[in-house]
Amino acid sequence: MGFQPMEKGKAKHKKGLWSPEEDNKLRNHILKHGHGCWSSVPIKAGLQRNGKSCRLRWINYLRPGLKRGKFSKQEEETILTLHDMLGNKWSQISQHLPGRTDNEIKNYWHSYLKKRVAKAKEMESHNQIKYASSSSDTIDSSNSIQKLATQGQQIYNFTKESCQSSLPKLLFAEWLSLDHVNSANSVESLGLRNGFDHNSTFQEAAIHDMSEVPFGGDYNRCVSNIPAPEMFNSQLKYANQMVENGYIHCMPGFDLSSNFSMSNDAIMYI
DNA sequence: AAGACCATCAACCGCCGGAGT
DNA sequence: CACTCCGGCGGTTGATGGTCT
């Protein structure tokens, strides 16, 4: 991208919580045109925010496919495992939790999981002191963490490999699989159904809009400005590549038995 | 009922690395 | 090579709502 001094005028940027009108402006703009250069988004969208703020709002709140609400047990354990291995690499952790943002995971960690881990470790050390003289198997109070450690090894291998590979960080397949996970029933069509649970007002609008325009925002980060069918093909290619490499085992909710088909610009997930 | 305290979450800030000029 | 801009990341803050005393 070229260097166009978009914000040379140093306009006063609004801060604080986003109003519904601002959300609408940003959402409509990105769904229609994609985000392109973030610093130009607020200008084009008619917002008095800076580009960073728009980016954050889109990624953490407006982006289609976001899962909102409580973390599942499985998600919790995944976070614990990955945090144990990766540390505070929230963005990397979030790549393994489709629909969750790094910010969300980070908040969840600080508000809940951190305490849980601290408590578990405290109990573990307490038990170690208590049973120090015994060489026999002791009951592990932090079984959750221990269990995750072994389970984590598998994920760790995947993490290392995925970092080395040329795979896109966020797969379109994840979004589809997320949708699959969210719904107990099979999904008829992304363009037709109200599949996303929370935040439905926007999600519905977004889904509707997406059946009419090329995908915008982060989901086409790797293939930006590519029309939906081409993007889909490229994602499918990556999915196939993953199957060949055995990565697919690590894709939560990814159902190989599922079939995809294309109808104009609408993506069907059968 | 009211103030203090706590938990949660959205958003901001500062830094860093990559890339174009 | 230095400079500038941008996007991304992690740490932190501030607002808000809930619970406790």
Which residue stretches of chain A have pLDDT < 50?
A: 1-10, 135-145, 148-153, 155-270
pLDDT at A207: 38
Strand C footprint nucleotides (protein C-beta < 7 Å): 4-12, 15-16
Q: At what angle do helices A20-33 and A200-210 cross, to 10 degrees?
A: 20
Per-position DSSP letters for A145-187, written without gaps between them: HHHHHHHHHHHHHHHHHHHHS---SS-HHHHHHHHHHH-SSPP
**Closest nucleotide C1' to the C-alpha of A50:** B12
Query: Which CATH number belongs to the domain containing residue A115 in this structure?
Result: 1.10.10.60
pLDDT at A246: 34
Residue A179 in any domain: the answer is: no
pLDDT at A249: 38
pLDDT at A134: 55
- Separation between the CA of A101 and the C1’ of B18 (whole angstroms): 23
Residue A227 in any domain: the answer is: no
- Separation between the CA of A124 and the C1’ of C3 (whole angstroms): 53
Residue nearest to nucleotide C14 (CA to C1'): A16
**pLDDT 10s digits, A144-168:** 445 544 444 454 444 444 433 333 3
Residue A38 in any domain: the answer is: yes
pLDDT at A215: 36
Residue A98 in any domain: the answer is: yes
Cα–Cα distance measured from residue A202 to residue A57, given in angstroms and rounded to the nearest whole number? 13
Into how many domains does chain A fold? 2
Per-position DSSP letters for A190-228, written without gaps between them: TTTS----SSHHHHHHHHHHHTTS---GGGGSTTTT--H
> Which contacts of A87-96 are long-range, i.e. CB under 8 A and separated by 24 or more positions?
A92/A159, A95/A162, A95/A169, A95/A170, A96/A155, A96/A159, A96/A250, A96/A252
Q: Which of A78, A96, A130 is the last residue of a domain?
A: A130
- Separation between the CA of A66 and the C1’ of C13 (whole angstroms): 25
**pLDDT 10s digits, A191-225:** 333 333 333 333 434 434 433 333 333 333 333 33
- pTM, 2 dp: 0.60
pLDDT at A130: 65
> Which contacts of A194-198 are long-range, i.e. CB under 8 A and separated by 24 or more positions?
A196/A64, A196/A65, A196/A66, A197/A67, A197/A68, A197/A69, A198/A67, A198/A68, A198/A69
**Closest nucleotide C1' to the C-alpha of A221:** C7
Residue range of the domain that includes A110: 69-130
Residues A95 and A54 in one domain: no
Residue A155 in any domain: the answer is: no
